[in-house]
Chains A and B, each alone.
Chain A
Amino acid sequence: MADLITWGIWISLFVFSFFIGTYREKAHFKNLVEREKTLVLLPALTMKFAEDRAVVKTELVMGSVVIGGDFFKQVVASLASLFGMRISVAEAMMDRARREAVLRMKEKAMGADAILNVRIEGLKIGERKKITGIEAMAYGTAVYYAK
Chain B
Amino acid sequence: MKFEPNYSENNVNVPSHNHFREFIRLTLWLLGIIFGIYFVLGYAADRFAERLPPKFEAAIASGITSRFDHGDFPRTSKYLQKVLDTLVTSAEGLPPFTYKVSIHDQPAVNAMALPGGNIVVFKGLLSELKSENEVSIILAHELGHYAHRDHLRGLGRGLVFMSIMTALGLSGDLPGFIAPSVQTFDLKHSRDRESAADLYAIDLIARAYGYAGGAIDVFKVLARQEHGFKRPDIISTHPDTLWRMQTVANYLQQKKYPAGSIRPLPESGVLPFPDDKKGKPGVVKLGVGPS
Contact = CB atoms under 8 A, between A and B. Distances in A.
Given A7-B177, A82-B30, A91 B5 contact: no
A92 B23 contact: no
B5 A95 contact: no
Interface in A3-35: 3, 6-7, 10-11, 18, 22, 25-26, 33
B29 to A, nearest CB: 6
A51 B9 CA distance: 27
Nearest to A3: B180
A75 to B, nearest CB: 7
B176 A10 contact: yes
Contacts of B20: 18, 22
B3 A76 contact: no
B267 interface: no
B13 A78 contact: no
A88 B22 contact: yes
B22 A95 contact: no
Contact of A95 (B9, B11, B29): B11
B17 interface: yes
Contact of A80 (B1, B3, B22, B176): B22
B27 interface: yes
B1 A129 contact: no
A23 to B, nearest CB: 12
Q: Per DSSP, are chain A's interface residues mostly helix, strand or loop, or mixed?
A: helix
Interface centre among B15, B23, B30, B171 (most CB of A within 10 A): B23
B130 to A, nearest CB: 30
Given A11-B177, A91-B13, A81 B172 contact: yes
B104 to A, nearest CB: 21
Q: Per DSSP, are chain B's interface residues mostly helix, strand or loop, or mixed?
A: loop
Interface string A67-102: 000001111111111110100110110110000000
Nearest to A38: B7
A48 interface: no
B254 interface: no
B5 A85 contact: no
B16 interface: yes
Contacts of B5: 40-41, 43
B181 to A, nearest CB: 10
B161 to A, nearest CB: 14
B175 A75 contact: yes
19 contacts: A6-B176, A7-B180, A37-B7, A51-B1, A73-B19, A75-B23, A76-B23, A76-B26, A79-B26, A79-B27, A81-B172, A83-B29, A83-B30, A89-B19, A91-B13, A91-B14, A94-B13, A95-B14, A129-B171
Interface of A: 3, 6-7, 10-11, 18, 22, 25-26, 33, 36-37, 40-41, 43, 45, 50-51, 72-83, 85, 88-89, 91-92, 94-95, 114, 129-130
Interface of B: 1, 3, 5-7, 9, 11, 13-17, 19-20, 22-23, 26-27, 29-30, 171-177, 180
Sorted from nearest, which 5 A-B pairs have the closest CB atoms?
A: A78-B172, A79-B26, A95-B13, A40-B5, A40-B7
